[in-house]
Amino acid sequence: MSSSKEKVPAYEEVIADLLRSTTGPVSAKELAEKLLAVRPSQARNPLQAMRQHIRQANGRLLVFLDADTVLSLRLAFQGARFRLPLDREMINKGLVNIVDSLPYYLPLNFPLEQVRFVDSAGKPVAFQIKPVSQQVNTLFGHQDITTLYANLSDWLRAQKVNAKDHLLITILDWEQGVMQLAREPFGQRNQGLLAQRNRLMADLFFDLLESAVDEDIYAHVAVPTIYARLPDKSGYPPGHWMIVLEEDGRMISDGWRIHYSDGGFSPLEQLAREIAGEPQHPAARPVSKEQREQVYRFKAALAYRPNLWREIEVQGKQTLADLDLLLREAFNHDVFDHLGGFWKLIPRGIQGKPGVTKRGAARQARYREVKLGHVEPMGGGEGARIRIAELELAIGDRLKYVYDFGDWIEHHLTLEAIETPQASVKYPREVARNQPEYVYCVECQKKGKQKVAKWICLECTTGPDHEIMLCEKCADRHEEHYLEEILY
Ligand SMILES: [Zn+2]
Ligand SMILES: [Zn+2]
């Protein structure tokens, strides 16, 4: 065995040892100091190196309550509660699917045969593990998939469980896999409180996603983190986290990762949707007559030359194809060649949070990009038929438009106003543009004449101090060269 292979678990073992005796949250700094005392380090900044080892244990041994405080996984799950809905079929057969629901609430790779259930009096609930084979349609044909069920028929019968009842589960001992079962009759359910608990849980997941560096988080980190942060995790139980996320709608999970639901599907989700025969693209959103007529005024600017802008207006019933054509014309792009593409820019995380100053927010402003679709010249493309009103934009919202995926000419659009249309005006249209800062033809200047340059010869240009700007006529002598039109 190589020494580098031994090194990684060694740190984990020390961290696990240090956490075993804790009874509550621990400061990450203190834990790093204790780790350093056991395992002296040659690193230039030893404490920082230890903090890195602690970060690597996130979701494996511990979770972060905040940036400086950690809690062992065992304590994060201690007393945590969740619920599973029961349906007629489950009750008739007495079988509860444990493969899809329990592993998230157990240590990694915990053998399901070793799970122990107890009732509210602490007495063991007898059950057998029952493997059930099912034929499943996959892209590779019919496949037999074996799922483990807990046969709880005796207990369910004794409890007189009904179809709309819930199974309440409390984690008594996460390391040993001991869980308490209780029945919540439908009539005793506090629907208002349950909705409130579920919303709180969903908000905690969403906050975690919003503050993540990437645009996804891992379930094995997120679930214990949420329980560690949930006030009163032993109180009225929220739903199983996957059901909570599905009902909330802002996020989507394949059971492994959690990401924004408007960010498209992961390959795994795509596969599941194909097998289930679900559409790959959401259907068009309904738009009212009023929304169809509304005029959206955008300020569009080149991303790398924000002084070069156009103000444009487009109606709600008009499409991204119409907007694409208008932008091509306004910025002198070729209308017959190259693709155009649109994204919605959505602020993430720190922005708009209480306690964050405007300047702080601007400095830390982060956007995620939700792809809306591309538009082919002369129509076509996945985004072409999307109507502006379907984008559900509010004043201040931003879009990104890229013309030509090869040269990647990026534009930022900001929605400045939504107004009622004027009777005599034909939309879409350009309403204003920046004052042009003209540059003049270098050839004509040599002859003492001032003529506005229309082209830049990229072959004769040698640098910013020697840019060959040319008028239409002088450009004729460079016709074999690579000329680019100057935008004003
Ligand atoms: Zn000239
Ligand atoms: Zn030239």
**Number of domains, the chain:** 5
Region 366-394: mean pLDDT is 91
For residue 364, pLDDT beyond 80: no
Q: What is the whole-number distance in angstroms between the Cα of residue 447 and the centre of ligand 2?
A: 18
The predicted pLDDT at position 277 comes to 73
> Do residue 317 and residue 413 come from a single domain?
yes
Q: Are 68 and 27 in contact (CB under 8 A)?
A: yes
Q: Quick check: 444 and 450 in contact, CB under 8 A?
A: yes
Give the residue from 124, 158, 188 where a domain finishes: 188
For residues 305 and 429, membership in a common domain is answered with: yes
Which residue blocks in 123-183 are alpha helix, DSSP H?
A: 153-158
The last residue of a domain, from among 164, 188, 212: 188
Q: Which of 152, 175, 208, 25 is nearest to 105 (CA)?
A: 175
The answer to whether 126 and 192 have CB atoms below 8 angstroms apart is no
Is 220:253 a contact under the CB 8 Å cutoff?
no
- Which ligand sits closest to the CA of 481? 2
User: Which ligand is in closest contact with the Cα of 484?
Assistant: 2
Categorize the per-residue pLDDT at 74 as very low, low, confident or very high, splitting at 50, 70 and 90.
very high
Ligand index nearest the alpha carbon of residue 457: 2
Stretch 336-346: mean pLDDT? 94
Q: How far is the CA of 402 from the centre of ligand 2 (A)?
A: 28
> Given the structure tokens 């063991």, which residue do they identify?
124
Give residue 482 CA to ligand 2 midpoint distance, Å: 7
Q: How far is CA 397 from CA 4, 308, 315, 343, in A?
A: 50, 19, 16, 11
Measured from the alpha carbon of residue 440, the closest ligand is 1
pLDDT of residue 1: 42
Closest CA to 241 of 226, 229, 228: 226
Is the domain of 293 the same as that of 429?
A: yes
C-alpha span between 240 and 202 (Å, rounded): 11
* Same domain assignment for residues 47 and 69: yes
Q: Are residues 120 and 146 in the same domain?
A: yes
Cα(463) to ligand 1 centroid in Å equals 20
Q: Between 198 and 281, where is the model more confident?
A: 198
The alpha helices in 112-262, defined as continuous H runs, are 153-158, 191-210, 219-229, 241-248
Q: Supply the CATH number for residue 125's domain.
A: 2.40.330.10
| Residue 357 lies inside a defined structural domain of this protein | yes
Residue 282 in domain: no
Residues 329 and 366 in one domain: yes
Q: What are phi and psi of 44, to 5 degrees?
A: -65, -40
**330 C-alpha to ligand 1 centroid (Å):** 25
95: three-class secondary structure by DSSP: strand
Query: Ligand 1 centre and the CA of 436: distance in Å?
Result: 19
Q: Which of 105-109, 280-284, 349-353 has the lowest mean pLDDT?
A: 349-353
Q: Specify whether 419 is located in the same domain as 322.
A: yes
Per-residue model confidence (pLDDT) at position 416 = 97
Q: From residue 27, how far is each of 30, 58, 130 by CA, in Å? A: 5, 14, 44
| Together in a domain, 228 and 364 | no
Q: What is the residue-averaged pLDDT of the chain? A: 90
Q: Indicate the residue among 41, 57, 77 that finishes a domain.
A: 77
Share of the chain above pLDDT 90, in %: 74
Give residue 56's domain range: 3-77
Of residues 313, 268, 341, 342, the one with CA closest to residue 416? 313
Whole-number Å distance, alpha carbon 467 to ligand 1 midpoint, is 14
In sequence order, the 6+-apart residues with CB closer than 8 A to the CB of 15 are: 31, 35, 53, 54, 57, 61, 62
Distance CA 16, CA 31 (A): 11
| pLDDT given for residue 169 in this prediction | 97
Do 212 and 161 fall into the same domain?
Answer: no
pLDDT at 359: 53
**Sheet strand arrangement including 469-470:** 469-470, 455-457, 483-485
In-domain check, residue 313: yes
CB 330 within 8 A of CB 300: yes
| Amino acid letter, 355 | G
Each residue's pLDDT tens digit, 264-292: 666 677 777 777 777 656 667 788 999 99
471 Cα to the center of ligand 1, angstroms:
4
| Residue 47's CATH number | 1.10.10.1420
Pairwise CA distance, residues 224 & 74, whole Å: 9
In a domain, 393, yes or no: yes
CA 420 to mean position of chain CA atoms: 34
The predicted pLDDT at position 280 comes to 59
| 172/6: higher pLDDT | 172
Query: Is 284 among the domain residues?
Result: no
316-330, 351-365, 390-404: least confident range: 351-365
Instruction: Say whether pLDDT at 2 is over 50.
Output: no
Distance between CA atoms of 64 and 109, rounded to whole angstroms?
A: 22
Residue of 187 and 355 predicted with greater confidence = 187
Q: Is the pLDDT of residue 6 over 70?
A: no
Res. 140: pLDDT tops 80: no
Helices assigned H by DSSP within 41-127: 46-56, 73-77, 88-93
pLDDT of residue 357: 54
Q: Highest mean pLDDT range out of 122-131, 308-317, 354-363?
A: 308-317
Find the length of the chain. 488
Residue 455: partners with Cβ closer than 8 Å, 6 or more residues away: 469, 470, 471, 472, 475, 478, 483, 484, 485, 486
- What does the alpha-carbon distance between residue 182 and residue 362 come to, in Å, rounded to a whole number? 49
Residue 188 has pLDDT above 70, yes or no: yes
Kindly state whether residues 167 and 269 are assigned to the same domain.
no
Quick one: pLDDT band at residue 352, thresholds 50, 70, 90?
very low
CA 470 / ligand 1 centre spacing (Å): 5
* Angle (CA) 316 319 323, round 5°: 100
Residue 135 pLDDT class (50, 70, 90 cuts): confident
Q: Tell me the ligand closest to 442's alpha carbon.
A: 1
How many Å lie between the centroid of ligand 2 and the Cα of residue 169? 77
Model confidence at 142, pLDDT cuts 50, 70, 90, reads: confident
316 & 419 share domain: yes
429 within some domain: yes
- What's the CA-to-centroid distance between 460 and ligand 2, angstroms? 4
DSSP state letters, 262-301: GG---HHHHHHHHHHT--SSPPPPP--HHHHHPEEEEEEE
- Whether the pLDDT of residue 293 is over 50: the answer is yes
Whole-number Å distance between alpha carbons of 96 and 101? 9
How far apart are the C-alpha atoms of 128 and 321, rounded to whole Å?
60
Domain presence at residue 281: no
C-alpha of residue 475 to centroid of ligand 2, in Å? 8
Say how far apart CA 148 and CA 130 lie, in whole Å: 6
Q: How far is the CA of 472 from the centre of ligand 2 (A)?
A: 13
The CA–CA distances, whole Å, from 192 to 84, 189, 226, 236, 382 equal: 17, 9, 21, 11, 41
Residue 110 lies in a domain: yes
User: Is the same domain home to 293 and 419?
Assistant: yes
**Amino acid sitting at position 291:** Q
- Cα 275 from chain centroid (whole Å): 23
Query: Does the pLDDT of residue 366 top 90, yes or no?
Result: no
Integer angstrom CA distances of residue 79 from 85, 221, 253, 466: 20, 18, 25, 72
- pTM: predicted TM-score of the whole model, two decimal places: 0.79
More confident residue, 250 or 264: 250
